[in-house]
Chains A and B, each alone.
Chain A
Amino acid sequence: MAGPGGGSSDVQWCFSQVKGAMDDDVAEADIISTVEFNHSGELLATGDKGGRVVIFQQEPESKNQPQCRGEYNVYSTFQSHEPEFDYLKSLEIEEKINKIRWLPQKNAAQFLLSTNDKTIKLWKISERDKRPEGYNLKEEDGRYRDPNTVTTLRVPVFRPMDLMVEASPRRVFANAHTYHINSISVNSDHETYLSADDLRVNLWHLEITDRSFNIVDIKPANMEELTEVITAAEFHPHQCNTFVYSSSKGTIRLCDMRASALCDVHAKLFEEPEDPNNRSFFSEIISSISDVKFSHSGRYMMTRDYLSVKIWDLHMETQPVETYQVHEYLRSKLCSLYENDCIFDKFECCWNGNDSVVMTGSYNNFFRMFDRGYRHDVTFEASRENSKPRSVLKPRKVSTGGKRKKDEISVDSLDFSKKILHTAWHPLDNIIAVATTNNLYIFQDKVN
């Protein structure tokens, strides 16, 4: 039984495409830092460490091959951010794109917000497939004609031309963040958006660049008292007054902008009580939330911490309603993961179109899906070996005990340099985009 976004037990995931160089020489600029589908799923945007954005467009389904969903091909690419230098602090400002968020489409053009550590930009991506020809005072190549040589007049007409996709920066929202921006989120009112850094959350109007409102400020008067930072923030998908932000201590605060101008006091605080006997040196680090995402329904939210994914019911603050272990076998490797800094990796998570399945990445280019209804989870690998067109992905397994079964991989053989931090799920169909270090994999379900 296949339905859009059906349970993972029905779905057979197949390799569809892989983008990027397949050689081992990875330039730092090519490291993918964000992946995002637009609201229709027709466009897929990626950002990288070099400040570049690449947008792919899905080809319309051809009548000849109804069993294949359209492929994603390059639609537009542009340099969104450049490296800058903060003269006051003598610090480099990285051009790495931290997040891309699409605006809902209002007219023929597409709009997206892209941000680095300090500056958010609104980009307009528009198509041009006609051009005017037959000017009286200009030659076809653009040179001006001497008016004295004009003997007859004609009316210029629009003629079709090869499709040209242009990206232009329409707004630059700068100088509002002292610390590093980790999140942007477009409001359901389609007029405002929020941006969050380590200590503050700001509210912007999409039309106004010289002003923004600070709505959350957790900076202590004395920096010696700093105990937690903001790690992610998102607007509620339907309620334009509601947003959440997560912290490095594993808490999520839901705020209502109707309550007061400054939302320092939360409306709800979501925190799972910790067993004090189990507390260790690593407890706080691994409880730090790296991503928070509302469900499409707006009823739930999902958080990702180092070892697990948790689903919270917005009506219940005391504990999550579901907890899924992503790679519990790493709990006995925390010492080495701390030494090689992997314990600070920020994994993202995402929902499928009907909120029945959630997905997140892991190490060794593994990614995991959890089916909430069937209570079934699966691990897949994004690798060149599995890159035959329409080949069905084989589930992978990590062996934890002493005996390693055939086809299983032991924890010590995992490659911790191959991490999948960014994944995205098509809003309507079973199409997923998975980013390895420098490659973008697209998988689709097998449409029979």
Chain B
Amino acid sequence: MSDEEVKSLEEQEMQDKVISPEKTEEAKLKARYPNLGARPVGPDFLRKRLQKGQKYFDSGDYNMAKAKIKNKQLPSTPTEKTEITGEHIPTPQDLPQRKTSIVASKLAV
């Protein structure tokens, strides 16, 4: 950008500042991102908004990611002592309770 162009842009900015701070901010944004389209809220923008949420490759990918988080958060649980091996046919009462680990909210302390 030549000196004259910079000067005229500054003058325009000063004028805009008098008119509206919004337009000044817009000029700032356009200067930083010259490829920015004229309308920020077009169909593409809205469609991205409609599809918010993390996309995974498939359910296996999702469950792996969840398992990783769970491993980080929870201390290792002690392994249950099972006497259920070999010929013994397990009944529902014999199986260890599979408890979903719920971390209580800190507001409820």
Closest Cβ of chain B to A277, distance in Å, is 8
From residue 79 to 109 of chain B, which have CB atoms closer than 8 A to chain A?
102-109
Number of B positions contacting A (CB below 8 A): 43
Is A283 at the interface (CB under 8 A from chain B)? yes
Which of these, B39, B47, B106, contacts A223 with CB under 8 Å? B47
Closest Cβ of chain A to B50, distance in Å, is 5
- The interface centre, meaning the residue of B38, B51, B108 with most chain A CB atoms within 10 A of its CB, is B108
Which of these, B23, B46, B62, B107, contacts A85 with CB under 8 Å? B62
Residues of B within 8 A of A444 (CB): none
Given the complex of chains A and B, what is the CA–CA distance between A281 and B30 in angstroms? 9
- The interface centre, meaning the residue of A74, A77, A94, A335 with most chain B CB atoms within 10 A of its CB, is A335
The closest CB in chain B to the CB of A222 belongs to: B43
Which of these, A29, A91, A248, contacts B54 with CB under 8 Å? A91
- List residues of B whose CB falls within 8 A of some A CB: 19-26, 28-30, 32, 36, 38-41, 43, 46-47, 49-59, 61-63, 66, 102-109
Residues of A within 8 A of B47 (CB): 223, 226
Which of these, A198, A227, A278, A284, contacts B50 with CB under 8 Å? A198
Given contacts A198-B50, A229-B50, A284-B40, whether A331 and B57 have CB atoms under 8 Å apart is no
Residues of B within 8 A of A146 (CB): none
Is A48 at the interface (CB under 8 A from chain B)? yes
Which of these, A87, A226, A283, A440, contacts B107 with CB under 8 Å? A440
The closest CB in chain B to the CB of A84 belongs to: B62
Is A422 at the interface (CB under 8 A from chain B)? no
Given the complex of chains A and B, what is the CA–CA distance between A117 and B50 in angstroms? 11
Given contacts A29-B103, A199-B50, A229-B49, whether A90 and B58 have CB atoms under 8 Å apart is yes
A285 near B40 (CB under 8 angstroms)?
yes
Given the complex of chains A and B, what is the CA–CA distance between A147 and B106 in angstroms? 47
Please provide the 4 A-B residue pairs with the shortest distance between their CB atoms, ordered closest to farther.
A332-B21, A77-B108, A334-B25, A280-B22
The closest CB in chain B to the CB of A23 belongs to: B106
Given the complex of chains A and B, what is the CA–CA distance between A278 and B25 in angstroms? 13
Residues of A within 8 A of B40 (CB): 281-282, 284-285, 338
Closest Cβ of chain B to A90, distance in Å, is 5
Some 5 contacts from A to B, beta carbons below 8 A apart, are A77-B107, A94-B53, A223-B47, A225-B43, A229-B46
Residue-by-residue, is A396-429 near B (CB-CB < 8 Å gives 1, otherwise 0)? 0000000000000000000000000000000000
A278 near B22 (CB under 8 angstroms)?
yes
Given contacts A54-B108, A335-B29, whether A284 and B41 have CB atoms under 8 Å apart is yes
Residue-by-residue, is A68-90 near B (CB-CB < 8 Å gives 1, otherwise 0)? 00000010010100010101011
Given the complex of chains A and B, what is the CA–CA distance between A335 and B13 in angstroms? 14
B50 near A19 (CB under 8 angstroms)?
no
B43 near A280 (CB under 8 angstroms)?
no
Closest Cβ of chain B to A444, distance in Å, is 18
B43 near A332 (CB under 8 angstroms)?
no
A30 near B50 (CB under 8 angstroms)?
no
Given contacts A90-B57, A331-B21, A335-B29, whether A179 and B105 have CB atoms under 8 Å apart is no
Residues of A within 8 A of B50 (CB): 179-180, 198-199, 229
Residue-by-residue, is A35-63 near B (CB-CB < 8 Å gives 1, otherwise 0)? 00000000000101010101000000000
Other than A85-B56, A281-B38, A339-B29, give 4 A-B pairs with Cβ distance below 8 A: A29-B105, A54-B107, A77-B108, A331-B22
